[in-house]
Amino acid sequence: MTDAKNSLDAITMNSNGKQDSGSQENSFLELIKTLLFAGLIALTARVLIFQPFNIPSASMVPTLLVGDYLYVSKFAYGFSKHSIPFSPPLFSGRVWSADPKRGDVVVFKIPKDNSTDYIKRLIGLPGDRIQVVHGEIILNGEKIKREKIDEIVEVNGRGYPDRVIRYRETMPNGVSYIVYNHAEDGALSNTDIYVVPEGHYFMMGDNRDNSLDSRVLLPNGPVGFVPFENFVGRAELIWYSTSSDSPIWAVWDWIPATRLSRIGQLLR
């Protein structure tokens, strides 16, 4: 009778919310397993599917603005060690690779340090001969189609008005986009002929006078010719855009600074 009473007391105590040590340990283990599983799903999605990026510089204006947030397709070109956070040297080259196309907007690790992310437009493929003359791209002996749209005045990052010439460029494969020139003959508007090595690609920013890209070869610049292995992914979609440089906790700035017209824009 006493044993039955003790058992009943134990049941009553547990039903009142006091768990024994074994029950507490099981709950803790279940929590750890849940967190590990959620982390594994997030890591798998980041490595294999999409990765978010934000734009910190004006090198791709007007296609991309400072404060744009993008989804980048990780599977568009297959996978390399740079598809994984911190680029662990697990393997070399790419697996399940697919050929990039001229005009793609690409996120890649710069060859100078193999760790910093840049985003530029793919202009030249392996074996291409490329030269820039008075701001016009000569691709394999032929000028890329370029049509002047207009001239506008914009306020630059220092708060001063800046004259901008807008052109529409069209690649031989039909990809079309707008580029900015701030001068008819800027510092990188006239170059030597570049021959793109096998396994490498030639990148340029759409803001042609405000972009460090493949026109400046290593070791003088951070980019030069970009190895295919360094590709992280293809920019696909702007999922958010803000004109504010306020810290993320300044929630009162979110709504007035949101660029609604940019949300949902495709980048292909």
Q: Which residues are catalytic?
A: 59, 120
Amino acid at 57: S
Residue 266 tokens read as: 């495709």
User: Based on C-alpha coordinates, what's the Rg of the chain?
Assistant: 26
Q: What are phi and psi of 78, to 5 degrees?
A: 85, -165
Place of tokens 């070791």: 219
Yes or no: say if 99 and 106 are a contact pair by the CB < 8 Å rule. no
177 CA to centre of own chain: 18
190 by Cβ neighbours in 10 Å (0-12 / 13-18 / 19+) ranks as middle
Cα distances (Å, whole numbers) of residue 210 to 60, 188, 205: 9, 9, 8
Yes or no: say if 54 and 69 are a contact pair by the CB < 8 Å rule. yes
